[in-house]
Structure formats: C-alpha cells, structure tokens
Structure 1
Amino acid sequence: MSLPAETQILSTEEYLRWEASQPEKHEYVAGEVFAMGGASRRHVTISGNLFAALDDALSGSSCRVYMADMKIEVATKSRFFYPDVFVTCHPDDHREELVMHHPVLVAEVLSPSTAAYDRGDKFIAYRSLPSLMEYLLIDPDHQQVELFRKGLDGLWVLHDFAPGDSVQLASVEAAISWERLYRNVD
C-alpha cells in the first residue's frame, strides 16, 4: 500500500465518483484514498499466468475471473480493493460493471512494499466477505505460494506450495501447475 493520495476523508459514494475520473487506480480504506503503484515484470507475468490458467479452467462454468482493473467492495470494512486476480461465481456480480461483491477466490502477487499489508490488514478485511473461500498469495521473488482456505468451521488454514507442486484451488475446482504459474518468470 502506498501513501494516501488525498488527506481528505471521502464517503464511499464520493470515492467512487472521484475515482471514475482518475487516470490511475486508487484503493479506498475507511475514507482514505491510496494510489496504486506500478508493478514489476515478474508481478505482471504471474498475474497474467494465473488469470489465463483460471480462465481456461473455468471455461463453461458459471464462474468468471477478473484481474487488476476490477474492484471488490468489502462493505463491512468500508474498503475497495483491486486484487491482482479474483474469481466470482455469483449471478449478481455478473451484472456489475465496476465493483464486485462476492469473490470466492482472491489472489495477490506480493511485492516488497505490499507483502505485509496483503498478509495482514487486507486479509483481515477480505475475511469478512462471506463468499470468500480462498486467499492466494504468490511471491514472485522467492517462488513461494501460500493458500489460505476457509474450512467448514470458518477457520482459515494455510496450505504451502513449493516448486513442482500443483496449486489446488477447491473454491473453483481447479489445479494450476507450478510451471504454468511461474512461466516466463526468471
């Protein structure tokens, strides 16, 4: 997360109106607006690889995959985020144009400046979404993949994956090979 773009506190409605006219993306956290920084080549490559793999795996299903420029609202926490990749299977989201509300899977590709936030406050906010079943964190620099999966008891369990593994995504009934996820990342 970067420094606030504005020090003024905005309502969600003001944020949505203001951001629609901005050339850059901004996340919204309880009234504060934060400019989104650029991403590294590895970050963009992994995001694209994950999007393509999920898009292939979900072809013909009721689920849809989005990346980078689509927002998720976490209304109970007064937040709007731009995940790197996410999947929604909810029919209400299929009618939305700018903001989704019911992701089953959210993926963030980590960067040194956002890793702690993605693992901490952002994950806390995402966990308040009743629809969310899995939260995937991908580290492009250390080739590490962490998947947090919500159990039937509501507890989140960490599943680590290593080179050569297949990343099993129960929320969308898909498996993505390590090689496909890290293709063209050197």
Structure 2
Amino acid sequence: MTATIQASSKRYYSPEEYLELESAAEYKNEYRDGEIVPMTGGTTNHNQIALNVSVALSIAFKQQDYRVFIGDVRLWITRKRFYTYPDVMVIYGKPEYFNERKDTITNPQVIMEVLSKSTKAYDRGDKFKAYKTIPTFQEYILIDQTKIQIEQYSKTANKRWLYREYDDEDTALVFNSLELEVSLLDVYEKVNFEETESEENGEA
C-alpha cells in the first residue's frame, strides 16, 4: 500500500523520518533541512527530454568510466541536509552511496534539470546554490521544455562559474567537464512544443 507524505509548515522531520516516509510515498518528495516538500509531476515533454539526454550520454560513454542516472536515483547534499531527485546525473567512476543506500548517491559531476513553469526559478536559484556545495559538482545544465533553449554553468575555479546559453537547434551542447558534445536536435527529438502549454497548465 502506498501513501502520500503530507508536508506541514509546522512539522520538521529528521532525515531518517523522511526516508521512512519516502519509502512508502506514492509521489516523490524533496527533503530540505527538516521540511518535506512534494515534487511536481513531470510532463511528457519533460520526460522525453530527460530520456533523450540520458540515452545520448549513455551511448557516448560506452567503454568509459562514467555512469548516467535518471529520475529515480536520489541525491543527498550533506552540507545543506537536502535530499532531491535530479532529472539526470553523470558520475565519474563509482557511485558514492550515502549510508550504503543503493538509491542515494553523493558524488555527481554533472546535473541536468528540465525546467518547468512551476520550478524554473527554484532550479536556477536555491537549488543551484545547494548543488554548488557538492565537492564533485562541475557542471549544471538547465533545459527549457517550452522552446529550444539550454543554459549551462561550468565551474572554472572556486566559486567561479562560466555561463553559456544555447538557442539554435543546429548547434551542439558542449560539456566542458566531459569533453563531449550532444546535438540540440538530439536533446529535443520528439518534443512537441505545441503540447507544452496545455501540459504545464495541468502540472501539480
């Protein structure tokens, strides 16, 4: 039997309580230093973009020591006491599991989020600030699902990030930390922008 976590502004949970509730929850929730916050449901375009990127990366990484995780793998950010589920994560070498939990990692090199109307400000703001505290984190990719537009933040030095924007389907997304390119045509394959507005209006 599944359950839905009821977040409350008056109640703060320990990480252990969150994990116990999350294991039985019907929908995914974030844990933000004591607060449990329901995550919004994804659209078909959101899912298609995440799938496209993960497939392209997985193919490119054959015979290389990189791992690609999508959606259901949880990330623990120690310095912020924060659990979340990035859309796509790339890890170099072996995953570092938190407390030996095979569903929770701590060492992403690249994190990718597909933006939605309800979460884009958070993804660009507080969530990015939390990600920056991860020692292994080198690159952040934000993909718009309503039009061809990708924002890229690449770490160049301590607390310094290089910003680049892509908005031409004939170009390629160049990962600075991976020495890899992915065509924007591949990123947005089978994405129907005409469906985006109606899909996003139905988001939780």
TM-score between the two structures when normalised by the length of structure 2: 0.85
Amino acid at match of 1:118: D
1:127 corresponds to:
132
**Structure 1 spans left out of the alignment, 5+ residues:** none
The correspondence for 1:136, drawn from 129, 136, 141, is 141
2:114 corresponds to:
109
2:69 corresponds to:
66
Contact 1:70 1:82 in 2 (8 A): yes
> How far off is 1:74 after superposition?
0.7
Computed over aligned residues only, the root mean square deviation of the Cα atoms, in angstroms, reads 1.6
TM-score between the two structures when normalised by the length of structure 1: 0.93
CA distance in 2 between counterparts of 1:93 and 1:130 reads 12
1:170 corresponds to:
176
1:141-184 CA-partner distances (Å, limit 9, x unpaired): 02110000000344011111122111011222221001000001
Please state if 1:179 is matched with 2:180: no
SS at match of 1:51: helix
Matched ranges for 1:46-85 at <5 A? 46-85=49-88
CA distance in 2 between counterparts of 1:144 and 1:50 reads 14
Structure 1 or 2, whichever has the larger Rg, is 2
The correspondence for 1:25, drawn from 25, 28, 32, is 28
CA distance in 2 between counterparts of 1:96 and 1:52 reads 25
CA distance in 1 between counterparts of 2:17 and 2:123 reads 25
Alignment: residue pair count: 183
Query: CA distance change for structure 1 residues 96 and 172 in 2, over 3 Å: closer, same or farther?
Result: farther
Amino acid at match of 1:18: L
SS at match of 2:177: helix
CA distance in 1 between counterparts of 2:52 and 2:70 reads 11
